[in-house]
Structure 1
Amino acid sequence: MAPSSAAAIVLAAGLGTRMKSSLPKVLHPVLGRPMVAHVAAAAAQAGVDRLVVVVGPEGDAVARVVAPHPTVVQHDRLGTGHAALQARAALEGFTGTVVVLCGDAPLLRPETVRALIDARERAGAGVAVLGFEAADPGAYGRLMLEDGSSLTAIVEAKEATPEQLAVRWCNSGVLAIDGAALWGWLDRIRNDNAKGEYYLTDVVALARADGRACVMVPCSEQEVMGVNARAELAVCEAVAQTRMRQQAMADGATLIDPATTYFSWDTRLGRDVTVGPFTVFGPGVTVADGVEIKGFCHFEGCAVAAGASVGPYARLRPDADIGEGAHIGNFVEIKKATVEAGAKVNHLSYIGDAFVGAKANIGAGTITCNYDGFGKYKTTIGAGAFVGSNSSLVAPVTVGDGAIIGAGSVITRDVEADALGVTRAEQVQKSGWAARFRDVKRAAKLALAAKAAERNSPAKKK
């Protein structure tokens, strides 16, 4: 999108009491990302040059999330008009378009923000408002229109007449305003209304009074839905997940059961990736072309190279780096480890703080013992090495290229290249021992049964 002389004010000072949470409402995540961060990103992608976030007095956590964008504090929550006014100093001297966004509406698309800005500038309008036709207008403010898109007023539901309440076009709370006139209009807003608040929407009437045109730009109700309660957060998450699934398939990935595949906001899948059912992608995951994911897997903060195979029931944790054509099998967990091209970790293994060389083969039940209760240590397994099943590699330790580790070994010292490393007690065989053991056990069992029968005999009871 072409850059424009536009700034944004994000309203994020609400308490969100209906969320019943110690976490500020706008920090609740959608697709693994705080809602307000989605809004800020949409503004940036729409070409907004400057952005300021309005927070409440307890907004330090929000300020950390939106940094490096500046924040201003609304100490007294006196309405949306009062909230927007707090950004005056941060945007001093700015005369382009100022778009006002809601920090709890994370589904708004960058292209919609861009369309709103462009519509205001093309029309030379004082104000442009995103509007939607609501299935149930309820408590939404109503948009009074002439000729389809010319906006004459926004009427809050509490202030509306029955005729006005019958209007289905509703206010989204997203406005683009002429920055040269904005602060003067905000100063003129009054709070003589049912709520005793300073409504930002009053800028439409003020602009019209000054002879400025105002316009409405339509969008979908879904795109501007706000989140005020946990149930609405769940609906928002479902919508966002559906978008991600559709985009992944449009980009060339196969989702065997889309409804059970869960993405994060930054998940990246290559072409010809196949994703099995019940797979979860946490933040920070990149999957290259041609990867097969066999389902019931969990990924976070990891990268999977082209042609690899993962799962089923595998977990790739942060800093797992899986090479081309590598195999990560069922019930395998990889954490902070590189598994190079063609290597195989196929069954029931934990590989953490490790390096696994190309074409190495890690047997079932192998673990890297990376933690001693105080620190983490690295295990290095060379290219072409073979680690037998049920082995424990006690870090820090190195297994050289082409070395073999005997099954069941506990390796505490380095094993040189092409050597055999094995730690086992000598196997002992005692001929006939098992048969004698069974005979003794059977005899003891028969003796106990005989004693029980004697105690329970009729003659004994008399």
Structure 2
Amino acid sequence: MEATVIILAAGEGTRMKSNHAKVSHQILAKPMIRWVVDAALAAGAGRVITVVGSHADEVRALLAGLDGVECVEQAERLGTGHAVRVALEATGVCEGPVVILNGDLPLIEPKTIRKFADTVADGTAAAAVLTMTTPDPFGYGRIELDEAGQVLRIIEQKDCTDEQAKTLLECNAGCYAFDGAALAAHIGEVGCDNAQGEYYLPDMLEILRNHGLGVTYFHCNDFREGLGVNSRAQLAELTAIARDRINARLMAEGVTMIDPASTWIGPDATVGRDTIIYPATMLMGETVIGEECTVGPNTRLTDTRVGDHSVIDETVAENVQIDNFVTCGPRAYLRPGTHLCDHSKAGTHVEIKKSTIGVGSKVPHLSYIGDTTMGEGVNVGAGSITCNYDGVHKNATTIGDNTFIGSDTMMVAPVNIGANAVTGASSCITKDVPDGALAIERSEQRIIEGYTARKRARQ
């Protein structure tokens, strides 16, 4: 489909009662505008033009760096017809199918956009309306057809008679497809003779009919694709629909979900077969989970890659690489830049930041490891930390293969601990430790007999 898609995203979204653009609000941690733009790109659109207005810089930032996506600003918000005219004038689009979508339409599928564009691709019709049949059509404009099956007009809810409300069940989803040449030729004929003084895009349908051009419709089989967001309640409703749709697809592909209703997976995440996902798990961004893993409960992974056969229990991770046969948690916090190699472990109440934990190495519990390169087969005792921040700079620690870090060891970076070394429990390591050495640093223990009795006597 070499079509142009114009996405209308300039509105205020006043019913959201927000300090941000409506289309920037997120569904499964992804802004609504990105759902629509990504669907248009996946449909094969040659150009995607987003009309911005309210909070224009915020919306532009959400689309920055996307190939094939342009932003056009509608400085004065004078209606949907005006927005389309601004887009055409700024980009020079004047041929081929042109699909107009709303920026708050996150559930629309690429195949629907592609088929919608095809309705005006052969020149039979100059315009098409995207329609749907909803369980409750109240509030939607109704489509009235003529004897030839062409769209005669759209009757708004407030103008429907009781009979029309009962019999006209095809509803307007608010999206349109046009032959680009016809649109460019006649968009200037849309007037603003109405109570709001705005230029309304639906007026194009009557204008094209008056020029003897055909106006048809494309029925969307799944009405949910045509649902928009105008309130926080609708945002939550569509989020739940998106969640259920993604979860159903993943389960059909071989993923087990103990409680799908409490499992939240973003549209850009992938999960391998025979992986089990426990309740209260969130997989967001471009997270990738391999096969035969166990994830959750109470786990949130963002932009994190997990290999096969790993167990991720009560873990929060962002921008992390977790390889195969790795164990995390419960209650592990993995910060950006962390890499857990095969058969490694980050245990209970462990925080790791910007560090590599080597093959088979373990940080079992109650430890912090930051800015560290750890070799293979290392064991870190409970309560150990790398003191990597001196108040100005982050400093590095290296730990060689098969080294044993005793419990409650403080490793004051920058410091290098060699291979096959040992640190004594409760040591503060401030100097490099050679391979195979024992490093121990403790004050002498003193015993003062009868101390407690004398203290109580004084009190």
Change (3 A) 1:61 1:180: same
**Letter in structure 2 aligned against 1:186:** I
Q: 2:367·2:385 contact (CA, 8 Å) conserved in 1?
A: yes
Q: 2:22·2:104 contact (CA, 8 Å) conserved in 1?
A: yes
- Structure-1 separation of matches of 2:316 and 2:149: 47
Residue number in structure 1 paired with 2:417? 399
> Is 1:31 aligned to residue 28 of structure 2?
yes
- Structure-1 separation of matches of 2:400 and 2:145: 72
Residue number in structure 1 paired with 2:2? 5
**Larger displacement relative to structure 2 (124-133 or 189-198):** 189-198
Q: Deviations over 1:311-352 (max 9, x none)?
A: 222222222222222222222222222223222222122222
Q: TM-score, normalised by structure 1?
A: 0.86
Residue number in structure 1 paired with 2:250? 248
Q: 2:94·2:184 contact (CA, 8 Å) conserved in 1?
A: no
Q: 2:98·2:180 contact (CA, 8 Å) conserved in 1?
A: yes
> Is 1:318 aligned to residue 353 of structure 2?
no
**Letter in structure 2 aligned against 1:83:** A
Secondary structure at the aligned position of 1:89 is classed as helix
Residue number in structure 2 paired with 1:361? 379
- Structure-2 separation of matches of 1:189 and 1:25: 26
Shift of residue 39, structure 1, vs aligned partner? 1.0
> Is 1:192 aligned to residue 193 of structure 2?
yes
**Larger displacement relative to structure 2 (116-125 or 14-23):** 116-125
Q: 1:283·1:301 contact (CA, 8 Å) conserved in 2?
A: no
Q: Deviations over 1:14-66 (max 9, x none)?
A: 01122222211111122222211111111000000101111116412212222
- Structure-1 separation of matches of 2:349 and 2:51: 46
- Structure-2 separation of matches of 1:7 and 1:14: 21
**Larger displacement relative to structure 2 (354-363 or 34-43):** 354-363
Residue number in structure 2 paired with 1:131? 131
> Is 1:77 aligned to residue 77 of structure 2?
yes
Residue number in structure 2 paired with 1:381? 399
**Larger displacement relative to structure 2 (117-126 or 304-313):** 117-126
> Is 1:48 aligned to residue 45 of structure 2?
yes
> Is 1:349 aligned to residue 362 of structure 2?
no
Q: TM-score, normalised by structure 2?
A: 0.87
Change (3 A) 1:232 1:395: farther
Q: 1:207·1:214 contact (CA, 8 Å) conserved in 2?
A: no
- Structure-2 separation of matches of 1:350 and 1:250: 40
Change (3 A) 1:364 1:223: farther
Shift of residue 144, structure 1, vs aligned partner? 1.9
Computing the radius of gyration from Cα coordinates, the structure with the larger value is 1
Residue number in structure 2 paired with 1:448? none
Alignment of 1:287-302 (within 5 A): 287-296=289-298, 297-302=315-320
Alignment of 1:59-208 (within 5 A): 59-68=56-65, 69-121=69-121, 124-145=124-145, 150-166=150-166, 167-193=168-194, 195-208=196-209
Shift of residue 143, structure 1, vs aligned partner? 1.7
Residue number in structure 2 paired with 1:454? none
Q: Deviations over 1:178-236 (max 9, x none)?
A: 11111223222223345443221222223333231412222323222212222222222
Residue number in structure 2 paired with 1:19? 16
In structure 1, stretches of 5+ residues that fail to align are 446-462
- Count of residue pairs brought into register by the alignment: 438
Q: 1:285·1:299 contact (CA, 8 Å) conserved in 2?
A: no
Shift of residue 276, structure 1, vs aligned partner? 3.1
- Structure-1 separation of matches of 2:339 and 2:148: 55
**Letter in structure 2 aligned against 1:31:** L
Q: 2:11·2:54 contact (CA, 8 Å) conserved in 1?
A: no
Q: 2:131·2:217 contact (CA, 8 Å) conserved in 1?
A: no
Secondary structure at the aligned position of 2:371 is classed as strand
Alignment of 1:299-310 (within 5 A): 299-310=317-328
Shift of residue 99, structure 1, vs aligned partner? 0.8
**Letter in structure 2 aligned against 1:238:** A
Residue number in structure 1 paired with 2:270? 268
Residue number in structure 2 paired with 1:452? none
How many percent identity over aligned positions? Answer: 41
Secondary structure at the aligned position of 2:151 is classed as strand
Q: 2:97·2:118 contact (CA, 8 Å) conserved in 1?
A: no
> Is 1:334 aligned to residue 352 of structure 2?
yes
Residue 219 (structure 2) aligned to one of 217, 220, 224 = 217
Q: 1:31·1:237 contact (CA, 8 Å) conserved in 2?
A: yes
Secondary structure at the aligned position of 1:40 is classed as helix
In structure 2, stretches of 5+ residues that fail to align are 299-314
- Structure-2 separation of matches of 1:162 and 1:324: 67
**Letter in structure 1 aligned against 2:219:** V
**C-alpha RMSD of matched pairs (Å):** 2.5
Change (3 A) 1:75 1:294: closer
Residue number in structure 2 paired with 1:259? 261
Secondary structure at the aligned position of 1:417 is classed as coil
**Letter in structure 1 aligned against 2:182:** A
**Larger displacement relative to structure 2 (214-223 or 15-24):** 214-223
**Letter in structure 1 aligned against 2:89:** A
Q: 2:142·2:170 contact (CA, 8 Å) conserved in 1?
A: yes
Q: 1:77·1:83 contact (CA, 8 Å) conserved in 2?
A: yes
- Structure-2 separation of matches of 1:338 and 1:43: 39
Secondary structure at the aligned position of 1:101 is classed as strand
